[in-house]
Structure 1
Amino acid sequence: MIIVLLILATFVFAGAMIFARAGRTRVLTTLISGLIIAGGLGALILNDNYHWGMHQVTQTQIQDLAPLQSKRTALRVQQLGTGSERVIAYRVKGATKASRTVAATTTTTKLTTGVPAQVQIRTTTWQFKNHWARVLFSLGNTKTKVVARQYLFTIPKTWQVITVKS
């Protein structure tokens, strides 16, 4: 919506500067449309750089784990690149396919021992504060930007973690 306002204000500004006669109406029209252009550009910059009109929302999801292949194999860790990054394959109870952690700079993974076998996924995203912020800044994009994602795996001591080198 803010892009539409910027385009309209630009046409009004240009039209007033080109076609309007010199006088109070021309000055007032160019001043108001110029302020709308400057304010809209400032709001877009603040939204893009500092997430103006947004706030962080954290969601936590806890799922029980099931062994991947045998009764003792819990997780499969695959090292990426230099070894500081890794992708962990795991299976949730009731699922037929294995799931994987997301390999991104905003993702952290931690393995701990304990009971019960579970994974806690904490996802923090940017969401709009209110309806007006969504109308102004969404630009048709309904996806939320992930700030951070944390996987905390708790596995029993009897389960094994297999490391696969790529």
Structure 2
Amino acid sequence: MIIVILILAAILFIYFNVIPGKGHTLVSWISLIITLLCVLGIVAHDYNHWGMKTETQTKTQHLVSSASPNLPLLLYQPLGNGTEKVYLYKTNNNQKKPRAIKLDKVSTKINHGKQPSLKIRTTRYVYKDNFSRMMFNIFNHNNELKHREYTFTLPSNWKIISTKDMQKLQKQMQEKMHAQKAASLH
């Protein structure tokens, strides 16, 4: 809607500046002011989410080991130089592969507690009122992600290891099992 108002105000400004007439100067100035206000409104909405508010949704899930039920582990995949981590988690033992956290506008925390759990807190931009929705709906910013926070609560017996270290651990366990089988055959 704000685009339609902007176009109409710009056309009125041009029309009343080109065609001379009595009272055209006043209408021309009013249409120029409306044009400028529309442009400022669009810029403020795009950069500062003007006309929007934030809504936060929190979801808590039980956490199980990322590897096997016998090994209480939370896996991560290091990114780049290793300072950023993509955590891989499971919420039940029937899950075949662990789920990765989403990386868009994200932060993660590791807390210690009695029960393993995962709290996902998602903050999104939504329109403040119907007027803002009507004016800015063309830009599709409704439900735009502002921030997502993952909070892992892990008991003291849980370990956090990288997928590389997990592969090394699996390889060592397999070698150990082969050595035990070979020793039992002799």
Both structures adopt the same fold (TM-score exceeding 0.5): yes
Give, in whole Å, the separation in 2 of the partners of 1:158 and 1:115. Answer: 10
Structure 2 equivalent of residue 155 of structure 1: 154
Give, in whole Å, the separation in 1 of the partners of 2:45 and 2:94. Answer: 40
Report matched runs for 1:1-166 at 5 Å. Answer: 1-18=1-18, 20-24=19-23, 26-71=24-69, 72-93=71-92, 96=95, 97-104=97-104, 106-141=105-140, 143-164=142-163
2:138 is paired with a residue of what secondary structure?
coil
- Deviation at 1:95? 6.0
CA RMSD of aligned residues (A): 2.0
Q: Give unpaired runs (5+ residues) of structure 1.
A: none
Contact 1:86 1:103 in 2 (8 A): no
TM-score by length of 1: 0.85
Contact 1:111 1:152 in 2 (8 A): yes
Give, in whole Å, the separation in 1 of the partners of 2:56 and 2:94. Answer: 25
Write out the 4+ residue segments of structure 1 that deviate beyond 6 Å after TM superposition.
Answer: none
Structure 1 equivalent of residue 178 of structure 2: none
Contact 1:112 1:155 in 2 (8 A): yes
Moved more, 33-42 or 45-54: 45-54
Structure 1 equivalent of residue 167 of structure 2: none
- Deviation at 1:162? 2.3
TM-score by length of 2: 0.77
- Deviation at 1:48? 2.1
Give, in whole Å, the separation in 1 of the partners of 2:138 and 2:32. Answer: 22
Contact 1:65 1:91 in 2 (8 A): yes
Aligned residues with identical type, % of pairs: 32
Give, in whole Å, the separation in 1 of the partners of 2:142 and 2:68. Answer: 38
Contact 1:74 1:90 in 2 (8 A): no
Q: Give unpaired runs (5+ residues) of structure 2.
A: 165-186
Give, in whole Å, the separation in 2 of the partners of 1:121 and 1:146. Answer: 13
- Structure 1's 54 and 65: CA in aligned 2 closer, same or farther, altered over 3 A? same
Contact 2:127 2:142 in 1 (8 A): no
Greater share of residues in helix: 2
2:68 is paired with a residue of what secondary structure?
coil
- Deviation at 1:153? 0.4
Give, in whole Å, the separation in 2 of the partners of 1:81 and 1:95. Answer: 31
- Structure 1's 132 and 94: CA in aligned 2 closer, same or farther, altered over 3 A? farther
Q: Which amino acid aligns with 1:102?
A: K
Which one has more relative contact order, counting CA pairs under 8 Å at least 6 apart? 1
Give, in whole Å, the separation in 2 of the partners of 1:126 and 1:142. Answer: 7
Say which one has the larger Rg.
Answer: 2
